[in-house]
Structure 1
Amino acid sequence: MLGLLKKVSGKNVSANELDNLIGKADIIDIREPYEYKTGSIKTAKNIPMDNLINNPNQYLDKDKTYYIMCQSGVRSSQTCKFLSKQGFDVINVTGGISSYTGNN
């Protein structure tokens, strides 16, 4: 029962909080290229989820912080959990690009 009451671990920011970070933070959009082409946050780098999970050391540095986003926040949440366990400093972008209303 106590396990059900535990807070979900991990760091999160809303998609709209990214406006203050554009150009200052490493933002990674893990959607597939065809999804990314429909629009993303300015300066976000597209690395599809499978590529990132299968070879994180090729794309990430353990000394940096990364903001991970997808369409709705589900894939990014799962990816952040995995990457955190691997020792990477990642922050999940809740709501994903579908909730972003900023000045991209």
Structure 2
Amino acid sequence: MYTEITAAELDSQLKEGKSINLIDVREPDEWQEGHIKEARSIPLSELQERLNELKQGDQDIVLICRSGGRSGKACDFLHAQGYKVVNVAGGMLQWPGEVAFGE
């Protein structure tokens, strides 16, 4: 199993300057409509082909989507592959922080 954090907890950690390996698994059109500036976009549909981009090291991989469902699926998949993952419960719908737009 993997752990979960809330969007507010993620926002607090980023504001404290914590380095977070944050992956947004939404599709490109959703990403362009608004995302967390510290995140990287790797859509769930491309995750399996782009595992080499995840940068594990000692850091957990924190996954976010619109509501927490797709990122939960990504967590299930990556956890089964041996990655240390954290799901952002509530996803971008619960995100209280600033949002970046475009690419």
Q: TM-score, normalised by structure 2?
A: 0.82
Distance 1:86 1:38, change over 3 A: same
Point out 4+ residue stretches in structure 1 off by more than 2 angstroms: 20-23, 61-64
Secondary structure of 1:40's counterpart equals coil
Q: Which of the numbers 46, 51, 54 marks the counterpart of 2:41?
A: 46
Which protein shows a greater Rg? Answer: 1
Which sections of structure 1, spanning at least 5 residues, go unmatched? 1-8
Please say if 1:18 is aligned against 2:10: yes
How many residue pairs get aligned? The number is 95
Secondary structure of 2:93's counterpart equals helix
* Equivalent in the alignment of 2:75: 80
Q: With a CA cutoff of 8 Å and minimum separation of 6, indicate the structure with the bigger relative contact order.
A: 2
Offset at 1:52?
Answer: 1.2
CA distance in 2, matches of 1:85, 1:14: 22
Secondary structure of 1:18's counterpart equals helix
Secondary structure of 2:47's counterpart equals helix
Instruction: Please tell me the root mean square deviation across aligned C-alpha atoms, in Å.
Output: 1.6
Amino acid at match of 2:63: I
Amino acid at match of 2:6: S
Secondary structure of 2:30's counterpart equals helix
CA distance in 1, matches of 2:94, 2:69: 12
Q: TM-score, normalised by structure 1?
A: 0.81
Secondary structure of 1:12's counterpart equals strand
Identity of aligned residues (%): 37
